[in-house]
Amino acid sequence: MCHYDLMDLWTLSDLCTPWCVHVVATLRIADHIDAGNTEIGQLATASGAHRDSLYRVLRHLVGKGLFQEPAPGRFALNEAARALLEPPVRLGFDLDGFGGRMAHAWGTLLSAVRSGGPAYHEAFGLGFWEDLDAHPDIAAGFDALMGPAGHGVPDPNVLVDPADWASVSTVVDVGGGTGGLLAEVLRARPQVRGTLVDLPRTVAGSGEVFQAAGVADRVTAVGQSFFDPLPPRGDLYLLKSVLSDWPDREATTILRRCAEATRPSGRVVVFNGAGPGEEASPELLMMVLVGGKGRTLDELSALAREAGLEVSSVGRQPSGRVIVEYRPT
Ligand SMILES: C[S@@+](CC[C@H](N)C(=O)[O-])C[C@H]1O[C@@H](n2cnc3c(N)ncnc32)[C@H](O)[C@@H]1O
């Protein structure tokens, strides 16, 4: 029996509402209302938009439960609209910034499905990482979205058994962005030193993160590719939300670099690299942006074995995220 009738399908595939949300987020309409510009003419002036077009967009959204129109042509924030004031929403929805990359990339989904590889270049002329290299402002938005402003303060509990910290004096965060996780780890573990590895433009933004956390004297930032040999002899190599950005061959190379670099007694810890169940998360955004994929624990561990690592422990952070620890074989 068919569960959807035609109306359900149109509702399910509505592109209008998501674009309207992105447009009002980009125009900062919620901020303008919050600042007292509630009348449509004021809102259009404050946001640099065409009055009647903006009015139609806002009335559509009111019909969907986002914003209220207490009197004709006057708008107010409801709880749903207040979310548009939050920094992660701004970073993720702004069509003039990285949010525009994520939104327009969906237009390449058909090519990605036909070819099995990302088609991001069809929309932006370059592959994802090359596009970020060519557009520092977009790259800064991506780094911010990955960092505490977008994803919140990272959980520093990166080992399955906290007692194992006794044997750790150096932590290397591989593809660690601007250092948010490493800063929290070092703050929680005053005896530990850290190394941040990421692309040069990204580690360039880490100084203030480490200063603000008060750990700058215990950290080294290295701008390099994680496909090249990594800083050696660390006790712990962290890979958070990195492997899901890459197809199997590249993900195996990153794991191999960690395996080569770690001490024989050291370990490689992967977060957001394997889902908790039998089914891998579809990770469609990773598919369209970078050709990445979600993996089951078995799939991840098969790559790790090829890279010279074996699973030593599996657990969860207090926040619920799956942690997988590997040891060199
Ligand atoms: C999805 S982000 C995860 C960042 C961080 N680990 C986190 O969880 O917030 C992936 C990171 O990989 C970095 N990256 C991409 N290609 C890289 C390469 N070839 N070498 C080093 N870092 C790279 C990006 O700059 C980005 O910081």
Q: Is 199 in the pocket of ligand 1 (CB under 6 A)?
A: yes
Which of 191, 187, 183, 202 lies closest to 145, judged by CA?
202
Structure confidence at residue 141 as a pLDDT band (50, 70, 90): very high
User: In the prediction, which pLDDT does 274 show?
Assistant: 78
Please, are residues 168 and 235 in contact by the beta-carbon 8 Å criterion?
yes
For ligand 1, atom 4, name the residue with the nearest CA. Answer: 177
Best residue among 98, 138, 202 to mutate for probing ligand 1, ranked by most atoms within 8 Å of CB: 202
3-state secondary structure of 326: strand
* Residue range 29-45, pLDDT digits in tens: 999 999 999 999 999 99
Identify the residue whose C-alpha is closest to ligand 1 atom 19: 225
Cβ density class 172-186: b for 16+ within 10 Å, e for less: bbbbbbbbbbbbbbb
Confidence of residue 2 (pLDDT cuts 50, 70, 90): low
Quick: pLDDT tens for 89-139: 988 999 999 999 999 999 999 999 999 999 999 999 999 999 999 999 999
3-state secondary structure of 19: helix
CB of 154 shorter than 6 A to ligand 1? no
Strands 193-198 and 170-174: parallel
Q: What is the mean pLDDT of residues 154-183?
A: 96
Beta bridge partners of 120: none
227 C-beta closer than 6 A to ligand 1: yes
Best of 133, 142, 146 to mutate for ligand 1, by most ligand atoms within 8 A of CB? Answer: 146
- pLDDT, residue 1, reads 52
Q: What is the pLDDT of residues 40-79, one digit of tens each?
A: 999 999 999 999 999 999 999 999 999 999 999 999 999 9
Distance 175 CA to ligand 1 centre (A): 4
* Atom number of ligand 1 nearest to Cα 238: 6
144 lines ligand 1 (CB under 6 A): no
Mean pLDDT within 172-193: 97
Q: What's the mean per-residue pLDDT of the chain?
A: 94
The CB-based long-range contact list for 48-55 (8 Å cut-off, 24+ gap) reads: 54/27, 54/29
What's the pLDDT score for residue 280? Answer: 73
The pLDDT assigned to 5 comes to 77
How far is the centre of ligand 1, averaged over its atoms, from the C-alpha of 270 (Å)?
A: 13
Mean pLDDT (whole number) for 262-285 = 85
pTM across the whole model: 0.92
Does residue 271 sit in helix, strand or coil?
strand
pLDDT band at 3 (very low <50, low <70, confident <90, very high): low
Q: Whose CA is nearest to atom 18 of ligand 1?
A: 225
Q: Is the CB of 4 under 6 A from ligand 1?
A: no
Position 4 confidence tier, pLDDT thresholds 50, 70, 90? low
**Are the C-beta atoms of residues 109 and 289 closer than 8 Å to each other?**
no
Predicted pLDDT of residue 93? 96
Q: Is 272 within 8 Å of 281 (Cβ atoms)? A: no
Q: Which of 206, 227, 241 to mutate to test the pocket of ligand 1 (most atoms within 8 A of CB)?
A: 241
Cα–Cα distance for residue pair 222/312, rounded to 1 Å: 28
pLDDT score at 272: 80
* 86 phi and psi angles, rounded to 5 deg: -80, 140
226 lines ligand 1 (CB under 6 A): yes
Q: What is the whole-number distance in angstroms between the Cα of residue 237 and the centre of ligand 1? A: 14
CA distances from 280 to 43, 105, 297 (A): 44, 22, 9
pLDDT exceeds 60 at position 265: yes
Q: Which range (1-10, 21-30, 141-150, 301-310) has the least confidence?
A: 1-10
326 vs 236: CA distance, rounded Å = 10
Alpha-carbon separation of residue 12 from 1, 4, 8, 18, 319 (angstroms): 18, 9, 6, 11, 31
